[in-house]
Structure 1
Amino acid sequence: MNKKNLNRGILNTKPHFEILGGLRGVAALAVVIFHFMEWVFTDYGKNFIGHGFLAVDFFFFT
């Protein structure tokens, strides 16, 4: 393998989608709000963001 092919392999990276970065930020805020609202409403049925813990999966697996 010559040096030119080695450098070409290093430069091949996965594409970056900026919208996913923004959505990950929204997911992080959703988790923060979820934890805050746990103090306010202990009953998940009354909590408007009762399934906010699912944002963790989105954050780590995108």
Structure 2
Amino acid sequence: MFIAVGHVMRLKTVIALGVIMALWAGIYQSVIAALALPISLSHISAPENISPLTATAVTM
């Protein structure tokens, strides 16, 4: 009985860790993309325009 409960809890922990890792990877990639966008546009627009919205507005 206790072994089964422990096994289910371990399985849930592994699944939860997997979900957290996947979410973290997604957040990490989106943050990297958000940071990389203004950097790639900075040579076109002025360095003051750090945010992607102003950078795209300047390039348009």
The question of a shared fold, defined as TM-score above 0.5 by the shorter chain, is answered with no
TM-score when scaled to structure 1? Answer: 0.41
More helix by percentage: 2
TM-score when scaled to structure 2? Answer: 0.42
Structure number with the bigger relative contact order (C-alpha 8 A, sep ≥ 6) is: 1
